[in-house]
Structure 1
Amino acid sequence: MAQISSKDLGEQEVDVSREHISYGANALRDGVSIGHQTVTRPVVSSSEIQAMDDLQCYLRVPGSSFITQLDLHFDKMRDVTPAFIKRHYTPSPAMTKAYQKAIYFECVAPGMLLNEVRQSKR
């Protein structure tokens, strides 16, 4: 997932300069060469995405090339209602029978039908 997010954020081209120093047998043969190389790399690497803390994200606005890292703040909402309170009740015999039929038709009967189909194909 981090790789997908990294690809979605895009890539950038960076011009890297490298300096090479060579030493010869004589001081006159010493030399310095400078090379330039253009490297394409992701704007945000997948390891940087994986290392983010909770409530941190990168934002890229459509139509813009700018990407910014955001640190979000969690605002805990006040409790509007009490937590779920479980109701204790005893179902009627008719309700118990309907529940058992529902379980039979949802769980047991499909398996029996599959067994009949398998046996008929033999």
Structure 2
Amino acid sequence: MRIGELSRRTGVPARMLRYYEEQSLLCPERAENGYRAYREAEVHRVQQIRGLLDSGLTTEIIRRILPYLDRPDEIHVHPECLTPETEALMRGEAERLQQRIDCLARNRDAIHAYLAAVRPVAAVREG
């Protein structure tokens, strides 16, 4: 299938599919005319990539673990793929995600505090 069809079936824009190729996450064949030719299995591969990206993993980490994924419809990582280098990358990524979570929690709390402080003032104005 061509890139437009893969895009339609996965909901991932063609531009992102090209980016996945640049990042060595997808390796389509090339037709004589230079067009990308994707296999049926690439639909599931793109869904896996999206799931991993949505979970916050970087393309570098995904590139390392993608060869070890068991089946196209499930994401199971084999212990064999956890080299010391990959483990260090993943621990760093987990720390980065925790920092983002902490920042988001502080922002949420600040918004709630602001609303609590403003709500009584707004109620007085309305009353």
How high is the TM-score relative to the length of structure 1?
A: 0.22
Higher helix share: 2
How high is the TM-score relative to the length of structure 2?
A: 0.22
Q: Tell me which structure has the larger Cα radius of gyration.
A: 1
Higher strand share: 1
